[in-house]
Amino acid sequence: MGEVNNKGRGEFELIGWIKEQVESCSRMPSGIGDDCAIDQLPSDQQLLTSNDLLIEDIHFNRAWTSMFDLGRKSVAVNLSDIAAMGGKPRSLYLGLGRSQQLEETELKDFIRGFLYEARQHDVVLAGGDTCGSPGPLMISVTVQGLVPTGKAVMRQGSGCGDALYVSGTLGDSALALHLLRAGQMPPVPLAQRFHTPSARIDLGRLVGEQELATAMLDVSDGLLADLNHLLVASGVGAELILSALPLSEAFRSALGQNPSLIDLALAGGEDYELLFSSARHDLEQMALPAPGVVKVGHIRAGTGINIRQDNGDIYHCRQRGFDHFAAS
């Protein structure tokens, strides 16, 4: 399995400590400590599985983020993928490549944050692996969830005339990162969105169960980049209304001083809001789980994305969404 950690705690001791922190779960006959987890699945459900990899100095900076919050975020960004399919998260599997600079207390804080966020959504840590790493801290999380058979919402399915909706607000996390890189402390509302994002699980499940969406995904790489994924999958184009973008008070305050920051709402990334198309144009008036949705445009024939200003002109965003393989 794993190697003995350079700080002196062997893998089996670490697994034992983590197991002590994890509450027993009746739906998992076998979990941490065995070679595999065993999960008893309902016959009328389909299994959803997703994985995310977080690497220090690419996806996070430990100088800016506490290990507890990093643990929480590692869970939330994975649960967001389940929400985007209309599912309910069920179990998590954690892989850690532990850098030599990681202290024992920091590792424990990370695990505590990880388990805290998991408990908020009734999700169990069912297994994983760990080993020492000569490089940066690497975090691999696999999440599994359930969705009623035939109810999963895919990226493909948008049709011409469909409305485009997004949940919550956009750009808060990206603006917090922008300020941190400039050596400034972001306001608390922005910092919270950056350090501890929220997966929109209840909203995603309702959208899926009531078949409100023709296609859906979560906004992780930026609104424009992720909308493009949806459009390419469906073979259509889109019109966005710039003034319709949902923005928080903290973001609007900064925008008043620097209008170019609107590009962060369009392409900043790490919003973890739900973006979906729908044949219905009245969802803003529906009683939906928090934080609700805002209509930001519509699907059209053709390809690409037009961002319309109030005067009808097309706005040209100067940024692009996050590219995992772009040169840093």
Q: Which residues are part of a known binding site for ATP?
A: 128-129, 155, 220
Q: Which residues are part of a known binding site for Mg(2+)?
A: 35, 50, 52, 81, 129, 218, 221
Q: What tokens does 115 get?
A: 């388990």
Q: Which residues are part of a known binding site?
A: 35, 50, 52, 59, 81, 128-129, 155, 218, 220-221, 270, 322
Cβ atoms within 10 Å, residue 41: 12
**Sheet with 88-99, side-by-side order of all strands:** 45-55, 138-148, 88-99, 124-133
CA–CA distances in Å: residue 63 to residues 56, 186, 326: 10, 14, 23
Q: Write b or e for each residue in 169-200: b if 16 or more Cβ atoms lie within 10 A of its Cβ, otherwise e.
A: bbbbbbbbbbbbeeeeebbeebbbbbbbbbbb
Q: What is the dihedral of CA 291, 297, 300, 306, to 10 degrees?
A: -120
Q: Nearest CA to 289 among 191, 188, 202, 161?
A: 202
| Measured distance CA(164)–CA(238) in Å, rounded | 9
Query: Cis omega before residue 189 (within 30°)?
Result: no
* 38 DSSP assignment: B
| Measured distance CA(244)–CA(298) in Å, rounded | 12
The pairing of beta strand 124-133 with beta strand 88-99: parallel
| Measured distance CA(103)–CA(86) in Å, rounded | 38
Q: Which residues are part of a known binding site for substrate?
A: 59, 270, 322
| Measured distance CA(168)–CA(276) in Å, rounded | 13
